[in-house]
Amino acid sequence: MEYLFDTHTHSNFSHDGVPSLNALAEAAINRGLKYLAITDHCDKDCVALPGFSWVRQIDLDTRKREFAAVKAKFADRITLAEGLEYGYAKEANGLYLDVEKSYPTDYVINSVHIVAGTDVYFREYFDCRSKQEAYGTYLKDVLASLDAPYHYDSVGHITYIARCATYDDKRLLYGDHADVIDEILRKTVAKGKALEVNTSSKGTKCDLFHDTTILRRYKELGGELVTIGSDTHTPEGLSTDFDLAAKALLYCGFRYAFVYKEHKPVAVSLEK
Ligand SMILES: [Zn+2]
Ligand SMILES: [Zn+2]
């Protein structure tokens, strides 16, 4: 079965995205998708923290205009959700409160990218830390991000730390950080947020659906809300590995994934 949605994608309104909104929507329609959330980076963390002024900030006014046009153009062919991916830093909380006042969205992913002053996309974060310390510090920030004062719908890619790690075994293992992962999962449930299953492991096979201990634990703790997102920055990457993610979720006891419309979760069956 094909899964005809994607909840995490980037256009060229993201500093690192390739396709225009129009090209991404068209590619999704050509793939048969019925729902596409375009969740461009809103990196106010890079504004609030020193050292990231090189990151191009999203032009929200232009995006608002262009999104409305693309949404109207394809309205009878696909549901387009106007999303953003916020890069969490507590120093940026006030800036996101301003964003949400001026830029209404359908869906917001809250993600941690910068830890201890470094984007964990870069190897320097790992060079001076043991794996236990590097992942533990990141997870504490993920836990803190759940208390962000602005609205968000899902907890983005908690396996981001593994994507570019330099250790032989990059996997985020439940057993290595059980206490803080339990706290993250419990709080995600208590706050009514969704846990994102991100399928963009860049070949590392480190996402939540590869080693399902964290997903099973989430289910045990009452977790129901899960999203699946490819995190693609190109049209070709739409819905990559969604069949594998769905299979893993079904194995863990989930029957539905969720997409968001006007910040409300809508269930999509995972069963064939
Ligand atoms: Zn991200
Ligand atoms: Zn992303």
pLDDT band at 16 (very low <50, low <70, confident <90, very high): very high
163 alpha carbon, closest ligand: 1
229 alpha carbon, closest ligand: 2
**What is the C-alpha separation between 152 and 165, in angstroms, rounded?**
27
Paired tokens of 154: 């899902």
119 alpha carbon, closest ligand: 1
pLDDT digits (tens, 9 = 90+) for 100-151: 999 999 999 999 999 999 999 999 999 999 999 999 999 999 999 999 999 9
87 alpha carbon, closest ligand: 1
| Cα 43 to middle of ligand 1, angstroms | 10
156 alpha carbon, closest ligand: 1
| Cα 183 to middle of ligand 2, angstroms | 23
User: CA-based Rg of the chain, rounded to a whole angstrom?
Assistant: 17
pLDDT band at 272 (very low <50, low <70, confident <90, very high): confident
**What are the backbone angles phi and psi of residue 253, rounded to the nearest 5°?**
100, 5
pLDDT of residue 201: 75
* Element holding 246 (H helix, E strand): helix 242-251
Residue 72 predicted with pLDDT over 90: yes
Residue 221 predicted with pLDDT over 70: yes
| Cα 126 to middle of ligand 1, angstroms | 18
Surrounding ion ligand 1 within 5 Å at CB are 111
Domains (ranges, CATH) in the chain? 40-52+85-225+236-269 (3.20.20.140)
Residue 162 predicted with pLDDT over 60: yes
pLDDT band at 74 (very low <50, low <70, confident <90, very high): very high
| Cα 159 to middle of ligand 1, angstroms | 10
37 alpha carbon, closest ligand: 2
pLDDT of residue 1: 54
**What are the backbone angles phi and psi of residue 185, rounded to the nearest 5°?**
-70, -40
- The DSSP annotation for 63-118 comes to HHHHHHHHHHHTTTT-EEEEEEEEE--GGGHHHHHHHHHHS--SEEEEE--EETTE
Average pLDDT of the chain is: 96
